[in-house]
Every structure is written in structure tokens, then in C-alpha cells.
Amino acid sequence: MALNMLGGLAGLGNLAGMLGGLGAQKSSPTAGRNVFKKVLSHGDWWDTDLETSSGVIALKAAVWQTIGRYTVPAQQIYRFGYGSAAFPDNQGYLHIAIYDDTATNSVLEEGAVRLVQRNAQGTVQLVVAEFRTEELRGSVSNRQQMKALPEQTQMPLIGEDSVLEIQFKPDAADSIVSPAIGTAAGLDIWNIPVTVYQ
């Protein structure tokens, strides 16, 4: 009788398993992976497929448009940002300065910027953060003047062939070019921190 009772009790464990493994620990998609910090720069984001035949990205006023995108490589998973807000010295900081195609000297563009992640098919898109351009172009060497972007752990990880995007809604219609022209050359910096698991 005692053995039967113990066997019955042992069977409850199997019953719990059949109900979805209540209390069982699920493995994390990042378990056993190497993790490292990375900053994606302007050259990583600029995609000539977004350009017109004139070699610029044409912008419509007050309309969200993709101005930069980065496709996640094979065998890696990504999130925007790196580090933790609890440790400011180790978290990521972003800098985005967007310039137009003025022929002599490029001029700064104003508007709203979104960091977006989407799946490879483009059927799911998640906005990770949204800022004004004025917030994003402080000193590239002084973190006190940059926007903090710790790892965005509230967002799902994205894998191979999924896309990180920079979307822009300009205050006025214009065109942007890479690289910036004249006195603005070298100032069109798009540095965005990401966390990479591989």
C-alpha cells in the first residue's frame, strides 16, 4: 500500500509536466552564448537600397521613413543598447546627427527619430525608443551630453535576418546624403549601442 501511495505521488510530477511544466525552469535563448557590446556606426546603418537614383534619401515632411537599417548576421541575436542603467559607466550612449544634401555645406535636419526592430518578413515591427534630434547630438566624447541607451531588456531578442532600423520623421521635406558635405563632413555620426549574443 505504501509503495502504491509513493508511486501515486511520483505520478503527480508527471501530471505537472503534462500541464506545462509548472515550476520548471525554461532555458534562456541567451544561455551558453558569448555576449559582447558593440556600437553600430553610420557605415553600418546606411543602406544604398534606400537611396533614390540621385544618391540621396528623399524625405517627406512629418512622415516616418527608414533612413538606416542593419540586418542581424547569421548565428547572432541582438538587442538595442548595452549594459545597465544601474551602472552608468558601463551602459551604452547614442549619438545621431542627421545632415541634408545642401551642395556647399550640409545642414542639420530636425525631427523625431525612432529605433525599431522588425522581423525578416516585415510583418512585425516594434518601436524600441523615440527621441527628438535635438536630444541625440551632444558631444561624441562627453557622455554627460549623450543619450543613455542601456540594453533594452523589455524588448524581445531578434535573430538572423531580422532588422534593426533607424526611422526618421523630419519637420520639413528634404533629402539626406552620405557622407555630409563641406564643413559638415565627418559630423554625420550615427553611433548606436547594441548587445550581441553569439
Question: 3-state DSSP call for residue 37?
Answer: strand
pLDDT for 31: 80
pLDDT for 32: 81
pLDDT for 26: 54
Q: What is the pTM of this model?
A: 0.83
Strands 190-197 and 35-40: antiparallel
Domains within the chain, CATH numbers bracketed: 30-197 (2.60.120.1170)
Low-confidence ranges of the chain (pLDDT < 70): 1-27
Looking from the CA of 162 toward its CB, the CA atoms found within 13 Å total 20
Contacts 24+ apart (CB under 8 A), 21-24: none
The whole-angstrom distance between residue 38's C-alpha and the CA centroid of its chain comes to 11
Model pLDDT for residues 25-46, shown as the tens digit of each residue: 455 777 888 999 999 999 999 9
Torsion angle defined by CA atoms of residues 104, 70, 169 and 51, in that order, rounded to the nearest 10 degrees? 50
Model pLDDT for residues 150-180, shown as the tens digit of each residue: 999 999 999 999 999 999 999 999 999 999 9
Handedness of CA 13, 18, 22, 23 (dihedral sign): positive
Question: 3-state DSSP call for residue 26?
Answer: coil
Question: 3-state DSSP call for residue 128?
Answer: strand
Separation of alpha carbons 68 and 164, rounded Å: 8
